[in-house]
Amino acid sequence: MPSIRKLSDPLATVLGMDLNAFWVLVESSGAEASDQDDRLERLTAAVAALPADEVVEFAMRLDEVRRRVDTWAHWHAADLICGGLCSDDGFFYFQAWLVGQGRAVFEAVAASPDALADLPHVRYLASRGGVHAWADEEWPDWEGLDYVAAEAFDGDLESELESRGLQVLVSPDPAGEQWDFADPAEISARVPRLGALFGKVA
């Protein structure tokens, strides 16, 4: 059985679908889309038009960037935004939503989860008075992004990845230390602007 290596391993880098190409596809899919479903269809069609190897590489690049925000610090920020209702699935789809915001936003939030306080949609959600007032389409998640490569690939993508000795995340595996997300002291220390925006700290 081949050894499994994480996609953060430099040896996992391949030619073709590099990070620049990945971000071009993700960002261009939202340029003229009317909603998230329309965007998903556009992105899936664009990925399906690629050579098979690049479809696999798209899945690899998604995993690569996702791991950068798969931390307890980012889960804390997501949980605060979602009113304490960010389950493991919710956080996984939140990561995908964050990728969907584009490279500049992603890089800012990867560096500092508190940068989420700058996002217009996050500020809009904070103004809504709680998650009970959010419409389904307003939640910060993009589950469908996780299935783009599998739907675009002509064959069994999971088996193809395994044949290369690779695995991708299928649920959060956060790095770093864990703490009490509801503790005001932790909020003030770690995500003060988000805490203030959502009324969790003075």
| pLDDT greater than 70 at residue 13 | no
71 phi and psi, to 5 degrees?
Answer: -135, 160
Average pLDDT of the segment spanning 41-49: 97
Q: Hey, what are 127's tokens?
A: 């103004």
pLDDT at 16: 75
Average pLDDT of the segment spanning 23-40: 95
* pLDDT band (50, 70, 90) for residue 12: very low
Residue 175 bridge partners (DSSP) = 71
Burial class (CB in 10 A: 0-12, 13-18, 19+), 4: exposed
pLDDT at 2: 32
DSSP state of 130: S
pTM: 0.91
Q: Hey, what are 183's tokens?
A: 């503790």
* Cα-Cα-Cα-Cα dihedral sign, residues 50, 54, 58, 59: positive
| pLDDT greater than 70 at residue 28 | yes
pLDDT at 201: 87
Residue 71 bridge partners (DSSP) = 175
| pLDDT greater than 50 at residue 4 | no
